[in-house]
Structure 1
Amino acid sequence: MTLEFDLFWSFRSPYSYLATPRLAALQEEYDVKINVRPVYPIAVRIKGFFKQVNPLWPPYLLKDTVRIAEMEGLPYAWPSPDPIVMDIKSGEVPEEQPYISRLTRLGVAAAEKGKGMPFLYEVSRIIFGGVKGWNEGTHLQEAAARAGLDLAELDALIEKDPDHYEKTIAENEAAQKAGGHWGVPLMVFEGEPFFGQDRISHLIWRMEQKGLKKRS
């Protein structure tokens, strides 16, 4: 029996990026289905979040993510441009969010095409992998193609019915909360939440208790 779990994931989360190669490898090695459920980052979901955050957190996050990337052998740099438009000094996040809105909707469209994991893998790699101007030229188009998707087709689907994608994102965020956590990456297996890129081994351990098998 194929096991499955929900993956709540954000295009602005470095930890989501750092977890993705291992999650993709998990799906390739084991008989498991990953239900990709993109959500908006916490900066969008919780108004004023960065006005209240502990000032020690951002510098620690940068040190920690650089360390993990080095350990995992992954290319890593803070995105240019940042998927979130915000005033770094004040923590103000405007309502208009052209980058993250498009990316999150594209993630939903890719998941509905059955290519969620490849799309997350390829797109996050250009966002966090040191590609300056990842939103310009053909970077996104080529990343989508490597995932087996046509970017123009995805954009057309979203333009035709944007409310559908926003509704799905809202449903994903509600399911994330119901799953027991607010952060990403969050894996929820049979109602049990596993939060963070360092909980993948725990997730595998639990699924093995439930009969997880390697692919033949």
Structure 2
Amino acid sequence: MTLNYDLFWSFRSPYSYLVTSRLVAMERDYDVKCNVRVVYPIAVRQPEFFDNSDPLWFTYLAKDTYRTAAFLGLPFHWPRPDPVVMDFATRKYPKEQPYIHRLTRLGQVATEMGKGLAFLDEVSKVIWDGSVIGWHEGDHLANAAARAGLDLAAMDVIAARDAERLDGIIEASQVAQREAGHYGVPMMAVDGEPFFGQDRYDQLEWRLKLKGMQKRG
């Protein structure tokens, strides 16, 4: 019997990128299905979230993401440009965001096409692995989509045409995320049990094995 788990995931989350390759490998090796549920990052959902955050929150994040990537053997660099535009002088997030809405809607379109996890994996590499400056330009995203077995031009048509419908699904995923027990990403949930953070991957795999997850034959 194929087991299922939900994945709440954001294109602006470095930790989402850092866990994705392990989720891809698990689905390749085990009889398990990842239900991708893309969400908008907290900076878009609640831009005031960071107004009163301790400055150490940012400095620790910067150190930990590079350290975690090195520990996992993954290339990493903060994206150029950032998927969510921020005024670093004021630490404010302007309402107009040129990248994140398209990315998130494309993630939902890919999910509806049955290739959500592959799309997240390929696109997050282009954004986060440091190999590209200007990931939003040229054919970087189109090539990433193609590696996932998708046509970016066709996806963009759907994302623009169905923006309101897609945002409704994304909003429902954000509600389900909190109902499962946390607001952050990446968060995996198995039968309503939350596993928040890339560092909970091992516990996710352990729980799925306890529930009967078997290796593919």
Band of TM-score, shorter chain: over 0.9
SS of equivalent to 1:56: helix
Counterpart position of 2:69: 69
SS of equivalent to 1:98: coil
Correspondence 1:114 to 2:114: yes
Counterpart position of 1:129: 129
Counterpart position of 1:38: 38
SS of equivalent to 1:165: helix
SS of equivalent to 1:52: coil
Cα deviations by residue, 1:173-208 (Å, 9 ceiling, x for unpaired): 000011100000000100100000011110111111
Question: Structure 1: which amino acid aligns with 2:188?
Answer: M
Distance 2:94 2:138 in 1: 25
Whether the aligned pair in 2 keeps the contact of 1:119 and 1:144 (CA below 8 Å) is yes
Counterpart position of 1:146: 147
Q: State the 1:47 CA deviation.
A: 2.7
Counterpart position of 2:157: 156
Q: How many residues align?
A: 216
Cα deviations by residue, 1:23-67 (Å, 9 ceiling, x for unpaired): 111111110000000000011111312222111011111111111
Cα deviations by residue, 1:144-183 (Å, 9 ceiling, x for unpaired): 0000000000000112221111101101100001110000
Distance 1:195 1:83 in 2: 21
Runs of 5+ in structure 2 lacking a partner?
none
Q: State the 1:91 CA deviation.
A: 1.6
Distance 1:5 1:31 in 2: 12
Counterpart position of 2:87: 87
SS of equivalent to 1:187: strand
Please show how residues 9-20 of structure 1 align to structure 2 within 5 Å.
9-20=9-20
Q: Could you tell me the TM-score, scaled by structure 1's length? A: 0.98
Whether the aligned pair in 2 keeps the contact of 1:188 and 1:194 (CA below 8 Å) is yes
Percent of pairs identical after alignment?
58
Q: Could you tell me the TM-score, scaled by structure 2's length? A: 0.98
